[in-house]
Amino acid sequence: MKKVVKFGGSSLASAEQFKKVGDIIRADESRVYVVPSAPGKRFSDDTKVTDLLYKCYGSVADEVKFEKYLETIKERYNEIIEGLGLDLSLDKEFEVIRKDFLAKAGREYAASRGEFLNGIIMANYLGYEFIDAAEVVLFDSTGKFDAEKTNAVLSKRLANVPKAVIPGFYGAMEDGTIKTFSRGGSDLTGSIVAKAARVDMYENWTDVSGFMVADPRIVNSPKVIEAITYKELRELSYMGATVLHEDAIFPISKEGIAINIRNTNAPEDKGTLIVEATCRQPKYVITGIAGKQGFASITIEKAMMNSEIGFCRKVLQVFEDNHISIEHMPSGIDTMSVFVHQSEFEEKEQRVIAGIHQAVNPDSVDLESDLALIAVVGRGMKAKRGTSGKIFDALAQAHVNVRMIDQGSSELNIVIGVRNHDFDNAIKAIYNTFVK
Ligand code: ASP
């Protein structure tokens, strides 16, 4: 059994947190590849090292500010090194970093140093080999992540290294230019390493005991999801549930490697298991609820719309021509609605309306703004009669007016459109109906 373990920024924010991580790794021989983030926040209004690095790089022109930021970053690492009692100095690395910053090595290079330095400390602390991600996580000449090449190079490298630390978040192009993934991208590095090393499990250690059924900022102490499939997770992440980077499941979803979300501060909790498929019945009919606010709908009405071949295509062409992506598209006999992101649509709305008139000559075009979409997701819904009935009953009882309903053909999710101001109440009502 081999595992990749990835630790998020809050798990590595201080020497105290590093010690918890050390205990976790040493408690299980199979935790052989470690992917660290940069030190995160130690307390709620602390600043993540990644953000300090961006600021430091942004202030290169102002010597006083630049030196101050660099000193603050150095102190963060020295505090960890001293707290762990390590015989290690990062002075040389910081000299290189200072020179590279002054030579304008790039914002991505700057940000990547957070993981790079933390990786060196982690490797020293554990006695594992340090592998610089720049050598094994590869981007092509256009700056796009090269999955195939990375997998070939990384698996070859890991074949001879039984235990290693590979910093998260970055890699490099062939000419050595450092590239980073989007924020939170160390999750992706974890998946990439898990695939290349063909491990049995990818443990992703963070500061919560797993994926919750609903957003804890809306529902008080929501239950933790014990097991969730990649597909369910994709639906929930897309609709705004965070914890794991949205793209982290792609590298391993075809490999059958499970991801286990765990809590560094409560290692005895089992967390959430993310799998390709499972016989485990979900505890509740629904697996999770997530949602996003800030949508607008455009409803187009025309008598006999149904018999007009190409009607939908012509309408959609107008959105495409205006570079607006479409979120949902419920339709009736003589109406079709298109849901879009309000912020993307607002400045183009008059152009879109005019375009629709020209394209299909409708009887009317109506706009509605400040809408929210809520996805109720669950592999268990397919087999259970009355799920949608229960959802709408709960919403009616909570006095929430439903503006749109869309059930995915996989029967894995039901998407409901409500007004922004009903968003929290709707989620609470659905949660309370299914989770007890
Ligand atoms: N340190 C990076 C960030 O703050 C990447 C990561 O933690 O995954 O986004």
Does the structure show a pLDDT above 90 at 411?
A: no
Q: Minimal CA–CA distance to 368: which of 291, 290, 300?
A: 300
pLDDT of res. 210: 94
Q: Which phi and psi (to 5°) does residue 392 adopt? A: -70, -30
Ligand 1 centroid from CA 163, angstroms: 23
Distance CA 327, CA 341 (A): 7
- Mean pLDDT for 67-79 is 98
Ligand 1 centroid from CA 6, angstroms: 12
Which atom of ligand 1 has the smallest separation from the CA of 180?
5
H or E, element range at 283: none
Does the structure show a pLDDT above 80 at 60?
A: yes
330 pLDDT band, cuts 50/70/90, is confident
Ligand 1 centroid from CA 316, angstroms: 37
Q: What is the pLDDT of residues 213-232, one digit of tens each?
A: 999 999 999 999 999 999 99
Distance CA 157, CA 196 (A): 9
pLDDT of res. 426: 97
**Ligand 1, pocket-test mutation among 183, 193, 204, 245, most atoms within 8 A of CB:** 183
- The distance of Cα 202 from the centroid of its chain, to the nearest Å, equals 16
Mean pLDDT of the chain: 95
333 pLDDT band, cuts 50/70/90, is confident
Note whether 149 and 135 are within 8 A (CB): no
Ligand 1 centroid from CA 184, angstroms: 4
pLDDT of res. 219: 96
Which atom of ligand 1 has the smallest separation from the CA of 115?
1
Lowest mean per-residue pLDDT among 89-103, 142-156, 218-232, 406-420: 406-420
Which atom of ligand 1 has the smallest separation from the CA of 169?
5
Does the structure show a pLDDT above 80 at 420?
A: yes
Instruction: Determine which residue's CA is closest to atom 8 belonging to ligand 1.
Output: 184
Q: Where are the beta strands (DSSP E) in 55-169?
A: 129-130, 138-139, 164-165
Q: Minimal CA–CA distance to 76: which of 119, 122, 41, 100?
A: 41
Note whether 125 and 15 are within 8 A (CB): no
Q: Is 420 exposed, middle or buried (0-12, 13-18, 19+ CB in 10 A)?
A: middle
Q: Measured at the alpha carbon of residue 343, what is the angle toward residues 342 and 344, in degrees to the nearest 5?
A: 90
Residue 411 or 322, more confident: 322
Q: What is the pLDDT of residues 83-92, one digit of tens each?
A: 999 999 999 9
186 pLDDT band, cuts 50/70/90, is very high
Note whether 291 and 229 are within 8 A (CB): no
Q: Where are the beta strands (DSSP E) in 25-144?
A: 31-36, 129-130, 138-139
Sequence-distant (≥ 6) Cβ neighbours of residue 258 within 8 angstroms: 200, 201, 202, 273, 274, 275, 276
CA trace torsion 40, 46, 50, 53 (10° rounding)? -150
Q: What is the pLDDT of residues 338-351, one digit of tens each?
A: 999 999 999 999 99
Instruction: Determine which residue's CA is closest to atom 5 belonging to ligand 1.
Output: 184
DSSP state of 240: T
Does the structure show a pLDDT above 80 at 352?
A: yes
Does the structure show a pLDDT above 90 at 254?
A: no
pLDDT of res. 147: 96
Q: Minimal CA–CA distance to 170: which of 107, 239, 81, 255?
A: 107
**Ligand 1, pocket-test mutation among 7, 41, 47, 50, most atoms within 8 A of CB:** 50
Note whether 139 and 190 are within 8 A (CB): no
Distance CA 260, CA 114 (A): 24
pLDDT of res. 307: 85
Collapsing DSSP to helix, strand or coil, 249 comes out as: coil
Q: How far apart are the first and last CA of the chain?
A: 36
Structure tokens given for 237: 């992440």
Instruction: Determine which residue's CA is closest to atom 1 belonging to ligand 1.
Output: 38
Does the structure show a pLDDT above 80 at 409?
A: no
pTM of the model: 0.88
Structure tokens given for 354: 């005019």
Q: What is the pLDDT of residues 23-41, one digit of tens each?
A: 999 999 999 999 999 999 9
Q: Where are the beta strands (DSSP E) in 2-68?
A: 3-7, 31-36
Ligand 1 centroid from CA 63, angstroms: 26
Distance CA 296, CA 311 (A): 21
Sequence-distant (≥ 6) Cβ neighbours of residue 265 within 8 angstroms: 20, 207
Structure tokens given for 421: 């101001």
- Mean pLDDT for 122-134 is 98
Ligand 1 pocket list (CB less than 6 A): 9, 37-38, 48, 50, 114, 168-169, 183-186
Q: In the chain, what percentage of residues exceed pLDDT 70?
A: 100
Does the structure show a pLDDT above 80 at 22?
A: yes
